[in-house]
C-alpha cells in the first residue's frame, strides 16, 4: 500500500540516537553509528521522531510500504521491556560483562601520571571565567570515557583543560554554560569525547550548540569510544 512513512538521510544523520530513543514503536534503530528505519510495519507515520532530530535528517515521504502493524509493535515493545528490565530500559545502562586486557609485569611497573590540568573538572562546577581557560585547548568528555578508554590521560587530556559531565545523570543541558565558556575565553580548540551509547549524544549536541552559539570559528572534533574501550571511526 502507498502510505506516509519516515525517511532518514544518512548523510545528515550525526548518530546522536535521539530519534531512536523517541521512537516508542522501535521502528528506528542505530546501525553502524547511523539511524535506520528497521521495519516499515513498525512506523505509524505520526513523526514523534522528527522534533528530536538536531540535523533535520528525518522527513516524511509517501511510498509503497507495509501497513502499520499495531500487534507486532506491541509484541516488540513487550520483548524490549523484558530485555531491558535490568537496565530500566536505557541502552546506555544495559548490563554487559567486558573482558579487560590482562595486566603484564611490564605494564604494572609503569607509573602513569595524571594529565588533569585543573580543578574542578565537572561542567556543573567549573567557573565560566576561570583563568586556566585563557588560550586553552578544551576537552569536553563524558564521565565514563576515562574508565572505558585506558589511554584517556595521555591521548586526550594531555595539554588540555578537561571538562566532564553526563547529561543523563545531571539531568541538564550544558549548552548554555559551554557557550559562555567559549564566548568569554580564548579557546584554541575543542575536542569532544563521548561514549557510543545514545544518551551520550546529548553531550555532543550541547557542545556543538555551544560552538555555534558562540559565533567563533574554532577547530573541533568528536571522538566516540565503545563500551569495550575502542575508538570508533
pLDDT digits (tens, 9 = 90+) for 138-166: 999 999 999 999 999 999 999 999 999 99
Delineate the domains of the chain, giving CATH numbers in brackets: 2-91 (3.30.70.20), 114-232 (3.40.50)
Cα separation, 35 vs 33, in Å, equals 7
pTM as predicted: 0.59
Radius of gyration of the chain, Cα coordinates, nearest whole angstrom = 20
**Per-residue model confidence as pLDDT tens digits over 27-41:** 898 888 889 999 999
Local confidence band at 179 (pLDDT 50, 70, 90 cut-offs): very high
- Across the chain, mean pLDDT equals 86
- Distance separating alpha carbons of residues 205 and 173, to the nearest angstrom: 9
pLDDT above 90: percentage of residues in the chain: 52
Among 223, 92, 225, 90, CA closest to 148: 225
In the sheet with 220-225, reading across from the earlier edge strand, the strands are 161-165, 137-142, 189-195, 220-225, 231-232
According to DSSP, the residues that pair with 60 across neighbouring strands are 6
- Alpha-carbon distance of 126 to 149, in angstroms, equals 23
What's the CA dihedral at 112, 154, 17, 64 to 10 degrees? -120
Region of 135 on the Ramachandran plot (φ > 0 left; ψ -120 to 50 alpha; else beta) = left
Amino acid at each position: 500500500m502507498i502510505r506516509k512513512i519516515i525517511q532518514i538521510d544518512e548523510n545528515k544523520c550525526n548518530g546522536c540516537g535521539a530519534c531512536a530513543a523517541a521512537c516508542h514503536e522501535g521502528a528506528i534503530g542505530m546501525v553502524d553509528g547511523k539511524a535506520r528505519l528497521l521495519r516499515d510495519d513498525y512506523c505509524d507515520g505520526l513523526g514523534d521522531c522528527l522534533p528530536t532530530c538536531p540535523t533535520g535528517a528525518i522527513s516524511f515521504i509517501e511510498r509503497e510500504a507495509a501497513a502499520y502493524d499495531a500487534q507486532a509493535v506491541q509484541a516488540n515493545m513487550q520483548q524490549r521491556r523484558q530485555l531491558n528490565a535490568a537496565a530500566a530500559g536505557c541502552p546506555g545502562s544495559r548490563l554487559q560483562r567486558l573482558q579487560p586486557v590482562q595486566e603484564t609485569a611490564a605494564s604494572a611497573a609503569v607509573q602513569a601520571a595524571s594529565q588533569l590540568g585543573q580543578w574542578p573538572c565537572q561542567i556543573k562546577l567549573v567557573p565560566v571565567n576561570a583563568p586556566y581557560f585563557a588560550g586553552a585547548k578544551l576537552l569536553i568528555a563524558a564521565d565514563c570515557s576515562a574508565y572505558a578508554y585506558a589511554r584517556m590521560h595521555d591521548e586526550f587530556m594531555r595539554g588540555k583543560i578537561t571538562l566532564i559531565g553526563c547529561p543523563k545523570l545531571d539531568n541538564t543541558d550544558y549548552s548554555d554554560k559551554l557557550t559562555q565558556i567559549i564566548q568569554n575565553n580564548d579557546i584554541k580548540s575543542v575536542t569532544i569525547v563521548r561514549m557510543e551509547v545514545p544518551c551520550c549524544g546529548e553531550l555532543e549536541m550541547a557542545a556543538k550548540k555551544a560552538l555555534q552559539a558562540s559565533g567563533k570559528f574554532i577547530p573541533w572534533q568528536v571522538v566516540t569510544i565503545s563500551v569495550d574501550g575502542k575508538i570508533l571511526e
